[in-house]
Amino acid sequence: MTSTTAIKRQENRWRHDPQQPLLAIDEPPPYAVVNPDGRSPYLLVCEHASNRIPRALGDLGLPESERQRHIAWDIGVSALSQYLSQALDAPLFMANYSRLVIDCNRPLGVPSAIPEISETTTVPGNLDLSAEEKAHRVDVLFKPFADAISRRLDLRQAEGKRTLVVGIHSFTPVYFGNRRPWQAGILYRDAVPFARSLIASLSADPELTVGDNEPYHIHPDEDYTVPVHADERGLPGALIEVRHDLIDTLEGVRKWGVRLTHCLETALEECAE
């Protein structure tokens, strides 16, 4: 076997024929909805809940150690989102597949939507994809998730229900070698009063350093949930970021769940229509 043939066979382990189903019948659907009939004004979104990769894509050419890292998902947010859904009685939409396959909080077509490199890690299964391969991931994973949220927001609007959109995320303590000083951050654009209420509530704890549009900021060229599902509709919207080493245990999830429930309930009162 020539070296070229060996390389091609290796690549084929994580390349997928877009004429074939991306998800097998026994694999989870693109997204899950928790507490769909929740009565809260909040609609929760968790785009990076899972590190699952469709079997048709193998391991994307990555070892297990990389697929367990933050590049593949937001550690701790699945449990934290579900805690908040229950505590607030809020519907929650969760993506069931890794952001390395396609990132459901990125505008379509930007490089980070299907990243060839995440932080410093090359993702072999995302290199040199055809337009058809990319479109297949969009149609199977991205659009069903985004469309489901849009339909629910349309319904709430038609019913005259107050709605606030909140994405639940986590971030790494160290990024590109730089230690981050925040325990949590609130990311926003148009919903300034709502975001300021959340920041003030979190900052009331003197032990916390809270980021105001840190460790990231919302931009239409790099974000989807807040610009599309909230700002474009004129709805209050923000992303909550929690440092992932603070929510990688059930006790950490409970502690931050209690804290964030209080902050979100306070914001409802302070930003009442």
Host H or E run for residue 260: helix 250-270
Give the separation between CA 103 and CA 94, rounded to whole angstroms. Answer: 12
- Give the number of other CB atoms < 10 A from CB of residue 178: 9
Give the mean model confidence (pLDDT) for residues 234-245: 97
- Phi and psi at 65, nearest 5°, equal -60, -40
**Which pLDDT value is given to residue 57?**
95
Give the mean model confidence (pLDDT) for residues 4-16: 52
**Which pLDDT value is given to residue 12?**
56
Helix axes 77-88, 250-270, angle to 10 degrees: 50
Largest CA distance in the chain: 70
**Which pLDDT value is given to residue 2?**
41
**Which pLDDT value is given to residue 11?**
53
CATH class held by domain 30-270: alpha beta
Per the DSSP assignment, residues forming a β-bridge with 42 are 164
Give the separation between CA 271 and CA 273, rounded to whole angstroms. Answer: 6
**Which pLDDT value is given to residue 1?**
40
- Is residue 179 classed exposed, middle or buried when 0-12, 13-18 and 19+ CB atoms within 10 A define those classes? exposed
Half-sphere exposure in the Cβ direction for 93 (13 Å, CA): 23
**DSSP assignments along 19-66, one per residue:** TS-SS-TTSPPSEEEESTT--SSEEEEETT------GGGTTTT--HHH
